[in-house]
Chain A
Amino acid sequence: MATESTPAPLSAPTVAAGVSGWEAFKNGWFYKYIFFPLGQIFGFILGAAVILTLLAYLLAFLIPEPRENINLAQQVSRQLPDMIIGGVSIGFVYAMIALGYTLVYGVLKFINFAHSEFFMVGSVVGFEVMQRISTSGEGVLSSWNPILLVIVLVIAGMLVSGTLAVVVERVAYRPLRGAPRLVPLISAIGVSFLLVDVVRAFAAITRNDFNLTYPISQVPFLQQRPEITLTPESAPLLQFWFDSANRDEIDIGLRMTSLIIIIAAILMLLILNWFVNGTKQGRGIRAVSQDMATAGLMGINANLMISLTFFLGGAFGGAAGVLYGMNVGTVTPFVGFIPGLTAFTAAVLGGIGNMTGALLGGLALGLIETYLNGLLVYFPVLGQRFTPVFTFSVLILVLLFRPAGILGQKVDEKV
């Protein structure tokens, strides 16, 4: 990969002094760190969802009956809300993991393959904390404010994974900083295996069981499923949708844990964007990613910035792990492998080294994966087993035709 892009992208354009209200607004704090990033996120989701929906209907138009008694267009219409919501929710998880890959790449030009295990450690920590609270007494877990509980779990996951990332960097990567590029890569793979086995041993010794089930059943709030039901009376404009789905009413609902993923992810992305673009430390990270030597000359402690980057990346991976664990319900020491690989694909898809790229890639890949799962089921020879074939083909195609990714900037080849 020949890209050299900075983790800068969510910044707003600069503006001359003494300007109109709109200009002032654009230069303001609210716009730069809340309005614009939110707009970007919703724009990505909308764009990806629209494109994929059109492609799905196109497919339904070309192959109306892939199996007998299956009307593809009808199935697409029925599944649309679930596919979009599911795609967005897993997309945010991928985006948060991808941020870890992309931040580290931006600063060190190095793919941290152990990052998937930071995600896994986060999910295990989330389980452990929740389990401790649950077993500390009868009904203790249910007496907690659920939102507070989620916040505590996420922060615990972030702290542990972030610290772990810093330690791993110090121990396994920093000594190899001058070495040829392949060497720290192998080291990262080794760390990945090591972490899986350490957690495996830990689970075996403490619980003699790999299946770590979050005690969500004791928190009724998390088991809810908010939904709205659309009927022809309440939404007459959508009659074409009701006809296409051949249903009298359409439920748009999502699990509370999915909703929490989406809200938490958006909040954390906004905070990260503000941190990287609006604070001195963030500027330091960006400087180091542009040119480490010069940043050193400017008085920036490169090692500190790198550790900070690893902490941020690891923390995001850990947070993603906690939220993912709450959503799927049960995690094992091996839960990091596939999501980590998919998130890496997402980071490459969006443009490795580019934070907005990680976000876009994660959301896009999450939606692509969910749409594929929802559609391939109806094709006799294929089936859902082929979903990873398509998702990873995306990786190959991107690397062949646009190695910089969707949002990556092309620069001169670095040998």
Chain B
Amino acid sequence: MKKLFVLALVVMAVALFGVSFVGAQDTVVRIASQSPLSGPQSVLGIGIRNAVELAIEQLSGPLTDAGITVEYVPFDDQATPDVGVANAQQMVNDPAILAVVGHLNSGVAIPSSEVYEANAITMVSPANTNPRVTDRGLLSTNRVCGRDDLQGPTGARYAAETLAVSSVYVLHDTTAYGEAVANFFQIEAEAQGLTVLGFEGTTEAANFEGIITPILALEPELIYFGGIYSQTAIFINQARAAGFEGAFMGPDGFDSSEFAAIAGEAGVGTYFTSVAGPASLYPAAAQFIEDYTAKFGEGPQPFSAQAYDSAGVILAAMAGIVAEGGELTRETVRDAVRATEGYEGLTATVTFDRNGDPETGFYYVFQVTTADAAAWGENELLTSLEIPSPLVARGSIVDIAAGNEAFSTLVAAVTAAGLGETLAGEGPFTVFAPTNDAFTAALTELGMEAADVLANTELLTGILTYHVVPGVVLSGALTDGMEVTTVNGATFTVNVSDAGVTITDGMGRTANVVTADIQGTNGVVHVIDNVILPPM
């Protein structure tokens, strides 16, 4: 009897085991989000979270049809770098998480993105505007919004040209985001001929009286505060109460209904630039606003529509992989997201450039018209600009060289050697570009005439290809004593010291890197002050 019982158990176990293989294999993939769900900036963070949830609900169709369940894992990064990194580590440990939408704060995104990059988890950001997010050339960082090195100057130009102020006082909140955008504003303001009366950083969050006193004594016509609404709204409240009557301007950190709730009447008339308009600005977002309000009981916040698009980009990339019969892994998703081209989102048609910036960025200047938080979406849009990403603006490596007089000899040489088409192609390449003076000095050194060299195609090609390295090598990736293999096949040595970067070529001659990291659509250019020669 006992033996029969045991036998029955074994048979059942085997049957169940077998059944588990026979049943339809439903794969589960997860998309995560990181944004501040608690803390002073939670209003924006929750808006991002909700939008991603809605996007996954609405846009997962193609994946669900293929038998793949998409789950959502929101994380709270508390607008704090340490917490963001800790969450990122947690994500790494869950193999089902393939991509993340986030963050809100650039200061949190930058360290977290290092964890994502090391583990091929692709990040699509709806709101991070610090240039460093994408300038590092990582494969897994992308954003659908614009950048601060274009946002700050947009504000400065508006202040100088349209508002016609002559003096500004610049404040920032000492974070990666606030200080950078204030700095970009200041540089452009000076370029526009405005007097910058001061540039101060402050972490003060409550009592600004001591800071306001000297500002008022200097009588600026405009105060620019690079910071987030939770701090800047309190500032403008107290500044107006203390008698400041000039203009007040800030970056997209001002863009939240909380600004009106905190500043009230004092905030009316404030200008702010943004890389993301309110959802009501985009004609394609009308349905989104309805669905969002129906699901969450209140209207979407700024950056919500962008978060919806970020999730949409990821889902579309995944659907593309599945449609071609590919496997959904972190690496395939990362590459597919970066290859996104012409994705029709609510806020824009998204194509990522080589670094993950959208090829065209949108920059807006708004003015606050209301003290009522509920009416924040009705702020007046003063201008809207379309500015290409810096990579696209500079163009290919050939465009960069052709656009600068100092490279005219190089351009002539490249054309004579017939390398122009290659270097304008997909690449990517790293080019160490000698200036005209460098060429002149080298010709004298070699005792040759320019015409002779240009005619000798073999020699010319050999020398030119010695200046080109396949792939993208940014200055940060160069280490002391590194041997770099060029397209020529020969190598040169790099020396990195406090004085800068030096190259020792195949003949033992040296050249200094004068300017580094001029990034273009198909590679990067470093300017050197001497021609380097392969061993001959």
Residue of B nearest to A371 (CB): B210
Indicate if the CB atoms of A331 and B206 lie closer than 8 Å.
yes
Q: How far is the CA of A377 from the CA of B243 in the complex (A)?
A: 19
Residue of B nearest to A204 (CB): B38
Kindly supply a per-residue 1/0 record for chain A positions 373-400, scoring 1 wherever the CB is within 8 Å of any chain B CB and 0 otherwise: 1110110000111010000000000000
In the complex, what's the smallest C-beta–C-beta distance from A385 to chain B, in angstroms? 6
Q: How far is the CA of A378 from the CA of B169 in the complex (A)?
A: 12
Contact size range, B: 35 or more
Instruction: Indicate which residue in B206, B217, B262 contacts A79 across the interface (CB closer than 8 Å).
Output: B217
Given contacts A204-B38, A217-B264, A331-B206, contact A383 B213 (CB under 8 A): no
> In the complex, which residues 153-208 of chain B have their Cβ closer than 8 Å to any Cβ of chain A?
174, 198, 200-203, 205-208
Residue of A nearest to B201 (CB): A385
Indicate if the CB atoms of A86 and B217 lie closer than 8 Å.
no
Interface majority SS on B: helix, strand, loop or mixed? helix
In the complex, whether A281 has a CB less than 8 A from a CB of chain B is no
Indicate if the CB atoms of B42 and A208 lie closer than 8 Å.
yes
In the complex, whether B230 has a CB less than 8 A from a CB of chain A is yes
Given contacts A209-B42, A255-B242, A329-B234, contact A79 B213 (CB under 8 A): yes
In the complex, what's the smallest C-beta–C-beta distance from B30 to chain A, in angstroms? 26
Q: How far is the CA of A370 from the CA of B211 in the complex (A)?
A: 8
Indicate if the CB atoms of A383 and B210 lie closer than 8 Å.
no
Residue of A nearest to B209 (CB): A86
Indicate if the CB atoms of A83 and B40 lie closer than 8 Å.
no
In the complex, whether A4 has a CB less than 8 A from a CB of chain B is no
Indicate if the CB atoms of A370 and B209 lie closer than 8 Å.
yes
Q: How far is the CA of A327 from the CA of B42 in the complex (A)?
A: 24
Given contacts A328-B238, A329-B238, contact A384 B243 (CB under 8 A): no
Indicate if the CB atoms of B214 and A79 lie closer than 8 Å.
yes
In the complex, what's the smallest C-beta–C-beta distance from B156 to chain A, in angstroms? 20
Indicate if the CB atoms of B213 and A209 lie closer than 8 Å.
no
Indicate if the CB atoms of B213 and A374 lie closer than 8 Å.
yes
Kindly supply a per-residue 1/0 record for chain A positions 198-209, scoring 1 wherever the CB is within 8 Å of any chain B CB and 0 otherwise: 001000100011
Which chain B positions have C-beta within 8 A of A387? Answer: 210
Indicate if the CB atoms of B262 and A213 lie closer than 8 Å.
yes
In the complex, whether B43 has a CB less than 8 A from a CB of chain A is yes
Kindly supply a per-residue 1/0 record for chain A positions 310-346, scoring 1 wherever the CB is within 8 Å of any chain B CB and 0 otherwise: 0000000000000010011111101100010000000
In the complex, whether A225 has a CB less than 8 A from a CB of chain B is yes
Indicate if the CB atoms of B237 and A329 lie closer than 8 Å.
yes
Indicate if the CB atoms of A377 and B200 lie closer than 8 Å.
yes
Indicate if the CB atoms of A328 and B234 lie closer than 8 Å.
yes
In the complex, what's the smallest C-beta–C-beta distance from B78 to chain A, in angstroms? 11
Q: Of residues B42, B203, B217, B218, which shows the largest number of chain A Cβ atoms within 10 Å of its Cβ?
A: B217
Indicate if the CB atoms of B258 and A217 lie closer than 8 Å.
no
Kindly supply a per-residue 1/0 record for chain A positions 223-252, scoring 1 wherever the CB is within 8 Å of any chain B CB and 0 otherwise: 101000000000000000000000000010
In the complex, what's the smallest C-beta–C-beta distance from B169 to chain A, in angstroms? 10
Q: How far is the CA of A339 from the CA of B211 in the complex (A)?
A: 16
Instruction: Indicate which residue in B174, B211, B217, B241 contacts A78 across the interface (CB closer than 8 Å).
Output: B217
Which chain A positions have C-beta within 8 A of B371? Answer: 217
Q: How many Cβ-Cβ contacts under 8 Å join chain A to chain B?
A: 107
Indicate if the CB atoms of B200 and A210 lie closer than 8 Å.
no
Which chain A positions have C-beta within 8 A of B205? Answer: 332, 334-335
Given contacts A78-B217, A384-B211, contact A209 B234 (CB under 8 A): no
Q: How far is the CA of A335 from the CA of B174 in the complex (A)?
A: 18
Q: How far is the CA of A213 from the CA of B359 in the complex (A)?
A: 40
In the complex, whether B39 has a CB less than 8 A from a CB of chain A is yes
Given contacts A383-B201, A384-B202, contact A369 B210 (CB under 8 A): yes
Q: How far is the CA of A372 from the CA of B211 in the complex (A)?
A: 10
Indicate if the CB atoms of B213 and A211 lie closer than 8 Å.
no
In the complex, what's the smallest C-beta–C-beta distance from A375 to chain B, in angstroms? 8
In the complex, whether B513 has a CB less than 8 A from a CB of chain A is no
Instruction: Indicate which residue in A253, A330, A373 contacts B210 across the interface (CB closer than 8 Å).
Output: A373
Q: How far is the CA of A370 from the CA of B213 in the complex (A)?
A: 9
Q: How far is the CA of A369 from the CA of B264 in the complex (A)?
A: 28
Q: How far is the CA of A378 from the CA of B200 in the complex (A)?
A: 10
Indicate if the CB atoms of A86 and B210 lie closer than 8 Å.
yes
Which chain A positions have C-beta within 8 A of B210? Answer: 86, 90, 369-370, 372-374, 384, 387
Indicate if the CB atoms of B42 and A82 lie closer than 8 Å.
no
Residue of A nearest to B230 (CB): A211
Q: How far is the CA of A370 from the CA of B208 in the complex (A)?
A: 10
Which chain A positions have C-beta within 8 A of B209? Answer: 86, 89-90, 370
Which chain A positions have C-beta within 8 A of B38? Answer: 200, 204, 210
Kindly supply a per-residue 1/0 record for chain B positions 493-518, scoring 1 wherever the CB is within 8 Å of any chain A CB and 0 otherwise: 00000000000000000000000000
Which chain B positions have C-beta within 8 A of A217? Answer: 264-265, 371
In the complex, what's the smallest C-beta–C-beta distance from A1 to chain B, in angstroms? 28
Residue of A nearest to B218 (CB): A75
In the complex, whether B322 has a CB less than 8 A from a CB of chain A is no
Q: How far is the CA of A204 from the CA of B200 in the complex (A)?
A: 32
In the complex, what's the smallest C-beta–C-beta distance from B52 to chain A, in angstroms? 18
Q: How far is the CA of A329 from the CA of B237 in the complex (A)?
A: 8
Kindly supply a per-residue 1/0 record for chain A positions 46-75, scoring 1 wherever the CB is within 8 Å of any chain B CB and 0 otherwise: 000000000000000000000000000001
In the complex, what's the smallest C-beta–C-beta distance from B12 to chain A, in angstroms? 49
The 5 A-B pairs with the shortest beta carbon distances in the complex, nearest first, are A373-B210, A377-B214, A217-B264, A82-B213, A78-B217
9 contacts between A and B (CB under 8 A): A90-B209, A200-B38, A211-B40, A327-B207, A328-B208, A370-B209, A373-B211, A377-B211, A384-B211
